[in-house]
Amino acid sequence: MIRYRLFLLLFSVALLVSACRQDQAAPPDGASPTTAAASDSADASGDERTPEGAGTEDRPTAEAAASATPSDPLAALDPSDARILLFHEYDGAIAEALTTRVAAFNEENLNGIRVEVVAAEQGAEAAPLVDQIEAAEAMLFLGAALPPALADRAVDVAPYFASTTWSDGQEIDEPQTTVPLLFATEALYYNADLMAELGIQAPPASWDELLTLACEAGENRYGFAYPYQLNRGEPSHSAALVAANGGTVADGDTLTLDSEAARATFGALQALYRDGCMAPVVERQLVIDNFGAGTMLFVADSSTQQAAYGAAVEAGYGGAWEMVPLPLAEGGQYLTTGITASVLPSSDVEQLASWLFLRWLQGEARDRLAEATGLIAADVSATGMSAAVAGERQADPTAPFSDDVRAILEEATAQIVDQNADVEMTLTDATRELQYWIREKE
């Protein structure tokens, strides 16, 4: 009997000890087992992982997130060691700059997040961009614009801005599925020395003034030029000129050149070319070389090419030149494109990790990207070109579409300007081809 009572006593003690251990191991209310495990690991190692962000302000840790206020629905997530796949549509200088910035993030961020980069395949044989993004199982997209077929799937990042754990608690009233980072616009480059020689006091302030001054350049000079060029991250020249003249090539979810603004724009440029005031529409490098040689008064080209024009002038006539926003007609707008970011659906932790990389990219990394690419920081409080175009701009409607589609616009308008093609017929035929291509192949 004594042995039996002793056995019951020992068994009761064992149950009590086991229950106490379970209470100590259980995660706090509202915290996931993953978060609790991460906190225990951090306590044991003394290593507090933090997300990389702009500046040197206090940064959240996984441990702090686990104990943060329950009002933040993202507080319990732990992005430590998350892997995300970034898909972008660029090549050349922008692609190289992005690769460099991603490598810096992977090395510097203390949360152990790793970003893998996949670049879109380019060329006529490449699969449609939508198919490439889906095949890569991308979690974050960087490009001029998310393809229309995927636009409805982009994650609303407003809750991440509003998070007091992982961000600054910035409240955004409406859903935000696209975050602008850097942009380019169509600019006007001008030869300041030649302007002074001609007695022109200031660059043209309107579209009509540009057309008038272009015919004052004199013999053996061109008053105006724009290049035939298709680069991702740069605005369509044709669409930019139509926008400056008060129109748009947008037509719902497709594109059109069959508009009064397009007819007026390219009809006026055809007349300018016919009068000997405008250069033929040729490849960019020829335009840059001629501007550098001092034989062009005004050139419309992407703001990303500022360094190239400067180098050409230095090697050429060596005088003064400037870049200013493209002059507008009444009701005109600046056309912008560049680098925007969209988070794509994945797990909660992966979406948070994508956001943390994106937040990091909005800081000093964005400035370094701007330096490397010639793009302009998308910050309305900035000065210079960014401030100048902030209030009167439209996103390039051609950006979501392939280079094949964009080429239709450029080829049609070039035929009008320097091949004297019938304006109305050419624009109508180009619109029919545009809409067929978008409907059947995009």
Residues 204, 295: one domain? yes
Calpha distance 62→42 (Å, rounded): 8
Calpha distance 67→60 (Å, rounded): 11
Calpha distance 438→328 (Å, rounded): 29
Mean pLDDT of 237-252: 94
Quote the pLDDT of residue 61.
52
**Residue 46 covered by a domain:** no
pLDDT of 117 higher than 90: yes
Between 361 and 385, the higher pLDDT residue: 361
Residues 300, 402: one domain? yes
Residues 203, 249: one domain? yes
Residues 416, 308: one domain? yes
Residues 305, 207: one domain? yes
**Residue 189 covered by a domain:** yes
Quote the pLDDT of residue 170.
83
pLDDT of 378 higher than 80: no
Quote the pLDDT of residue 152.
92
Between 40 and 265, the higher pLDDT residue: 265
Residue with tokens 């978060």: 35
pLDDT of 193 higher than 70: yes
Write the pLDDT tens digit of every residue in 343-358.
999 999 999 999 999 9
Domain boundary among 345, 377, 409: 377
Quote the pLDDT of residue 391.
66
Residues 313, 430: one domain? yes
CATH number reported for the structural domain that contains residue 109 in this entry: 3.40.190.10
Is residue 131 within a helix (H) or strand (E), and if so which, with residue range? helix 129-136
Write the pLDDT tens digit of every residue in 355-377.
999 999 988 999 999 888 888 88
Please state, in angstroms and as integers, the Cα–Cα distance from residue 186 to each residue in 81, 219, 300, following that order.
41, 27, 6
Amino acid identity of residue 264, one-letter, is A
Quote the pLDDT of residue 387.
67
pLDDT of 40 higher than 90: no
Q: Where are the beta strands (DSSP E) in 252-333?
A: 254-255, 296-302, 321-325
Write the pLDDT tens digit of every residue in 212-243.
999 999 999 999 999 998 888 889 999 999 99
**Residue 117 covered by a domain:** yes
Mean pLDDT of 290-308: 95
Write the pLDDT tens digit of every residue in 49-75.
333 443 333 345 555 555 544 588 999
Q: Residue 224: which of 203, 248, 197, 245 has the closest Cα?
A: 203
**Residue 19 covered by a domain:** no
From the centroid of its chain, how far is CA 28? Answer: 41
Domains: count for the chain: 2
Residues 330, 347: one domain? no
Quote the pLDDT of residue 380.
45
Write the pLDDT tens digit of every residue in 22-32.
444 333 343 43
Residues 282, 416: one domain? yes
What residues make up the domain containing 124?
Answer: 83-182+337-377
Write the pLDDT tens digit of every residue in 270-287.
999 999 999 999 999 999
Residues 314, 165: one domain? no
Between 109 and 232, the higher pLDDT residue: 109
Quote the pLDDT of residue 280.
95
pLDDT of 426 higher than 80: yes
Which has the minimum average pLDDT: 32-41, 165-174, 202-211, 241-250?
32-41
Residues 200, 222: one domain? yes
**Residue 386 covered by a domain:** no
440 pLDDT band, cuts 50/70/90, is confident
Residues 405, 259: one domain? yes
With beta carbons less than 8 A apart as the criterion, state whether 318 and 341 touch: no
**Residue 273 covered by a domain:** yes
**Residue 175 covered by a domain:** yes
pLDDT of 126 higher than 90: no
Q: Which two tokens stand for residue 368?
A: 């370094």
Residue with tokens 């059109």: 256
Mean pLDDT of 407-427: 95
**Residue 24 covered by a domain:** no
Residues 248, 330: one domain? yes
Average pLDDT, the chain: 84
